[in-house]
Amino acid sequence: MKITQAKEILDSFADKKIMVIGDLILDQYIFGDVNRISPEAPVQVVRVDNEKYGLGGAANVSNNIKSLGATPIVLGSIGNDLGGAQMKSLFKKSGINTNGIFPTEEKPTIQKRRIIARNQQLLRIDYEDTRNTDHEQQEKFMNFIKKNIHTLDAIIFQDYNKGLITGNLIKQTIDIANKNGVLIGVDPKKKNFFSFKNVTLFKPNRAETEDNMNVKISDKNDLLPIASKMIKRINCHYLIITLGAEGMFIFDRHGSYSSIPTFTKEVYDVTGAGDTVISTLMLALASGCSIKNAAIIANHAAGVVCGKVGAKPATKDEILDSFHKWNNRK
């Protein structure tokens, strides 16, 4: 793809509005240095230099959409706690509306605390309650969706199996989106994997595909029969299986397929790469882009974020710079 074409597609994101439904996660990064072993136990001692907070999970998808110039509509839940207050503050700092974020006393805010030294993640500590959200919260979610559906270009389900996305929420949302011509993209996990039927785009990674289809992907020759079975079972328009360093495999309901390579030059941290991919894919599809061109742009965006530490979004300029470097390398 030429840089001029990529720029035209990226510029078309500006008037798009995407709702993101999923588990909101507060990321904490503790940065420090290691130069000794603890006398109390055989573990490294990290001398902390600084700490940072970031938007993770579905919150990071929303942040990616905002970073690419479009308007995210966040739908999720936080606890009535300090983590929830910190998350709302981060949303407001990023210029993202929080009207679709519903606090609850039933569950705490999901938090992931990462300890990093010399660009290496040493430890991650998770705070979470993965019970399904209660009926009252689910009703609030559906009312919010019905209120906003006529303003949307697409909906993204960003499922981390933390309890927010339930079978009933999936079915009702897909029904109302399809009736109103709103595109639906899914980044699945195991629990609800086969519940997302009749969507526009389904985007599992290699491990999720192997686990849920009970197969082993040894090489790219295995992908075609697996993709054919999966797309028939889910009845999606497009299926993209992300393959890490091997790029992406694209398949559609008519049996057409293709592969694209990864554009990652240096990998420092893969955190948030999947969030970036689904965000960019759905923005491109909502802008009328072909699935292959959407995947190429999304793959460049993933390459950008893999070159950063932590879940940080890609910008349009960074994606175009990736195109420029890739095209000049040939």
Tokens of residue 16, six digits? 């798009």
Is the Cβ–Cβ distance between 301 and 280 less than 8 Å? yes
Q: Give the single-character DSSP code of 18.
A: E
pLDDT at residue 267 in the model: 41
Please give the positions annotated as active site: 275
The arithmetic mean of pLDDT across residues 285-305, rounded, is 91
Asked if residues 196 and 178 have their Cβ atoms less than 8 Å apart, the reply is no
Mean pLDDT of 217-244: 92
pTM summary value:
0.90
Q: What is the pLDDT of residues 41-66, one digit of tens each?
A: 999 999 999 999 999 999 999 999 99
Question: Under 8 Å CB-to-CB from 307, ≥6 apart: which residues?
Answer: 264, 265, 266, 267, 268
Percent of the chain with pLDDT over 90: 77
Q: Which domains does the chain have, with CATH numbers?
A: 3-25+55-109+130-329 (3.40.1190.20)
Beta strands in the chain (DSSP E): 17-22, 24-37, 44-57, 71-79, 101-104, 110-117, 120-127, 154-158, 183-187, 201-202, 238-242, 248-252, 257-260
- Tokens at 151, concatenated: 């303003």
Count of CB atoms within 10 A of residue 59's CB? 31
The pLDDT assigned to 204 comes to 95
- Tell me the C-alpha distance between 262 and 242, whole Å: 10
Q: Which residues of 79-109 are buried (b: 16+ CB within 10 A; e: fewer)?
A: bebebbebbbebbeeeebeeebbbebeebbb
3-state secondary structure of 73: strand
Q: Mean of the per-residue pLDDT values for the chain? A: 91
